[in-house]
């Protein structure tokens, strides 16, 4: 299934994309796509319900805003330097173990919401990434069993403010967590929709120019290992997001570096997970 959430920010309702690609409202199912939903085999329960209820589910107008397909995950765990070519362009050696960092969940927004360039930012950068959504509580999971804990996959633009991330003291989280720095979607594809998540093209354009164009086959650490590894250090809860890293072609790696400015249009996509577009806007105080 392809799960969507739609409506005004903070008031989203659950929906799906039907077999014709039409948006349908499944509010009558009575659950949002949150920890409780994923932790109780929600996608299968929804599929069973949909088989009998689809004729009663209203069509959602195409003009409706798409929100983030997952509601308030407990955490976003990002993996740094997880594409061989990206590590090379960053001037860093391949890590012996996964590099983990957090992204605040307050950064989450809809797939086509504006990107707000943070106050005092001069180095806001793009990063197309494959994100994995956890479907079952994972603690000390073996690599062999890891994929049993996957609910599905998302398109994610892991925006980063490089000065905040790399030129200020402390951890990278400061450069990852600004508002609107985690647009996800347009939909969550359940695990059965993606036959091999390690063979997906992912790409990103800036104002129509291809900046990133790679394949998840270049991942240094694959998804089963990442779930296994992360679960040795923290419990992954249903609905949690693992963002698996970005390929080469980020602004930081260009010569000279190139960063986003108001009016820039960023479009990105992953095979089987749709496309999204964000227009950069300057920060305006409330």
| β-bridge mates for residue 174, sequence order | none
With the C-alpha atoms ordered 184, 186, 190, 195, is the resulting torsion angle positive or negative? negative
Indicate the pairing of strand 182-183 with strand 108-109: parallel
Give the span between the Cα atoms of 2 and 19, in whole angstroms.
9
Min mean pLDDT across 36-45, 139-148, 161-170 is at: 161-170
Q: What is the per-residue pLDDT across 110-150, written as a single tens digit (0 to 9) for each?
A: 999 999 999 999 999 999 999 999 999 999 999 999 999 99
Residues 240-250: what's their mean pLDDT? Answer: 97
DSSP-assigned letter for residue 33: S
Residue 93 has pLDDT above 90, yes or no: no
Q: Which of 221, 269, 246 is nearest to 87 (CA)?
A: 246
Q: What is the pLDDT of residues 200-236, one digit of tens each?
A: 999 999 999 999 999 999 999 999 999 999 999 999 9
State percent of the chain over pLDDT 70: 99
Environment class of 236 (CB within 10 Å of its CB; exposed 0-12, middle 13-18, buried 19+): buried
For the beta carbon of residue 118, count every other beta carbon within 10 angstroms: 20
| Distances 140 to 98, 103, 147, 236 between C-alpha atoms, Å | 16, 22, 13, 10
* Range 41-48 average pLDDT: 98
Confidence bin at 270 (pLDDT 50/70/90): very high
pTM for the complete prediction?
Answer: 0.96
Q: How far is C-alpha 51 from the geometric centre of its chain's CA atoms?
A: 28
SS3 144: coil
CA distances from 194 to 11, 130, 145, 181 (A): 29, 12, 18, 25
Structure tokens at 28: 């009558």
Is the model's pLDDT at 258 over the cut of 80?
yes
pLDDT at 88 over 90: no
Confidence category of residue 85, pLDDT binned at 50, 70, 90: confident
Mean pLDDT of the chain: 96
Q: Which pLDDT value is given to residue 87?
A: 67
Q: What is the pLDDT of residue 84?
A: 82
- Judged against a pLDDT cut of 80, whether residue 25 lies above it is answered with yes
Instruction: Work out the average pLDDT over 4-8.
Output: 98
**DSSP run (H or E) holding 209:** strand 209-215
């Amino acid at each position: 299934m392809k799960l969507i959430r739609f409506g005004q920010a903070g008031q989203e309702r659950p929906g799906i994309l039907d077999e014709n690609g039409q948006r349908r409202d499944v509010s009558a199912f009575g659950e949002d796509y949150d920890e409780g939903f994923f932790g109780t085999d929600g996608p299968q329960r929804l599929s069973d319900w949909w088989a009998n209820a689809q004729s009663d589910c209203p069509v959602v107008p195409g003009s409706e805003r798409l929100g983030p397909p997952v509601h308030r995950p407990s955490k976003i765990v990002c993996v740094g330097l997880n594409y061989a070519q990206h590590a090379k362009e960053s001037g860093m050696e391949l890590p012996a173990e996964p590099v983990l960092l957090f992204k605040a969940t307050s950064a989450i927004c809809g797939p086509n919401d504006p990107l707000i360039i943070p106050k005092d930012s001069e180095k806001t950068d793009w990063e197309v990434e494959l994100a994995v959504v956890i479907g079952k509580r994972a603690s000390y999971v073996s690599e062999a069993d890891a994929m049993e804990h996957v609910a599905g996959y998302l398109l994610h633009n892991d925006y980063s403010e490089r000065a905040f991330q790399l030129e200020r003291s402390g951890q990278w989280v400061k450069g990852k967590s600004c508002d609107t720095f985690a647009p996800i979607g347009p939909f969550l594809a359940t695990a059965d929709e993606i036959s091999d998540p390690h063979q997906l093209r992912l790409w990103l354009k800036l104002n129509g120019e291809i900046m990133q164009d790679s394949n998840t086959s270049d991942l240094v650490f694959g998804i089963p290992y990442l779930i296994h590894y992360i679960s040795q250090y923290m419990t992954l809860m249903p609905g949690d997001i693992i963002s698996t890293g970005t390929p080469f072609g980020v602004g930081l790696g260009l010569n000279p570096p190139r960063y986003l400015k108001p009016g820039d249009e960023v479009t990105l996509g992953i095979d089987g997970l749709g496309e999204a577009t964000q227009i950069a806007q300057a920060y305006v105080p409330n």
